[in-house]
Amino acid sequence: MTARWHILGVGAIGGLFACRLQSGGAEVTLLSKLCNEPSRQLVLNNTSTERFHFPQQAVTHNDDPIGHLLVCTKAWAVESAIEAVAPRLSASSIVVLLCNGMGLAETVAPLIGKARLVVGSTTSGCRRSREGALIVSGEGRTQLGMLNSSPAPPWVSPWRRGVPDFEWETDIHSVLLAKVALNAVINPLTALHGVTNGDLMQPPLRAITEDVIKEVQSILCSAGATEIASSLPAHVRAVCDSTAANHSSMRVDLENGERTEIDAIVGWLLSSLTPHPPATPILSELYDAVKQREMDVSRA
Ligand code: KPL
């Protein structure tokens, strides 16, 4: 039987994965807070333009249980979004969190009862055009896994068929740590300087990018994550190259006057990874600058 996936958080990444799962053979329903329309079209501008059609439901459509839920909301919105759908989950439901930042699984686990929690990371680069089309700037790599190291479950088939470079990971914690380290380098710099991901690898920003990488490496090393630390420079380079034209999610948030994920990314690294973090003056300054810009745009 074809699994139905409900998508919570239909921004650029949520929309992209809705299209990918439908391409992989899954039935996909979009969840919306207001749900003015019973269906919705998403336009994907990849190598060619493709149109995808989906049924759409209100988050609180309580008479339709959810078997497979993909959550792509902003990190700060995860808790309230899950609370809204929690009555539709059961012990046989799967909840996949594909969000930036760390500390989210701990927040979500108590809200979903006996449903199984899966966490993931993607380096896909996707943004919305002014007209609302999804513009893919890098196919990226997508990894899912369970924190108890379970092997791949059968429901991953549409992910394998529809998502490029997809992998089920038994050590998903390391994948998430590597991703938060990557986002801590790319997101604040691109947001504050208003540049594309690719610009970080070019002068004049290349030098500061390297300095931020060194500081993030020092935090990772103080937490014993030395392998992730040593692969960080190559990881940043690879993602900046493969998503060179992309506007990072934090850049888009600041430009739209929206709250960013700085707390779940840089805030988490600065205060939650290790009890005695080393001094990281540049990263701390970037954190403060993003918080300041958030305040300035919310007052404007
Ligand atoms: O995760 C991203 C983001 O923008 O939040 C990357 C991978 C850096 C793509 O832009």
Between CA 161 and CA 20 the distance in angstroms is 9
1 pLDDT band, cuts 50/70/90, is low
Q: Is the dihedral of CA 21, 22, 26, 28 positive or negative?
A: positive
What is the atom index within ligand 1 of the atom nearest the CA of 140?
Answer: 7
How far is residue 124's CA from residue 100's CA, in Å, rounded to a whole number? 12
Structure tokens at 93: 């439901």
pLDDT per residue as tens digits for the range 67-111: 999 999 999 999 999 999 999 999 999 999 999 999 999 999 999
Task: Using the predicted structure, report yes or no on whether residue 283 has a pLDDT greater than 70.
Answer: yes
- C-alpha of residue 134 to centroid of ligand 1, in Å: 15
Instruction: Give dist(CA 54, CA 41) in Å, integer.
Output: 6
User: CB of 123 closer than 6 A to ligand 1?
Assistant: yes
> pLDDT tens digit string along 153-172?
999 999 999 999 999 999 99
Q: Tens of pLDDT along 228-238? A: 999 999 999 99
Tell me how far apart the alpha carbons of residues 83 and 180 are, in angstroms, rounded to a whole number: 24
Least confident of 128-142, 173-187, 219-233: 128-142
DSSP H helices, the chain, are 12-23, 78-85, 104-108, 157-162, 172-193, 206-222, 226-242, 249-255, 262, 268-271, 281-299
Burial of 204-221, coded b for 16+ CB within 10 Å and e otherwise, reads ebeeebeebbebbbebbe
Ligand 1 mutation target, pool 76, 199, 248, 254, most atoms within 8 A of CB: 248
Give the pair of three-digit tokens for residue 174: 């390391």
The domains of the chain, with CATH numbers, are 4-169 (3.40.50.720), 174-299 (1.10.1040.10)
Place of tokens 């380290």: 181
Distance 18 CA to ligand 1 centre (A): 18
CA distance 60 to 199: 42
Mutate which of 124, 187, 261, 266 for ligand 1? The one with the most ligand atoms within 8 Å of its CB, which is 187
From ligand 1's centre to the CA of 20, what distance in Å?
A: 18
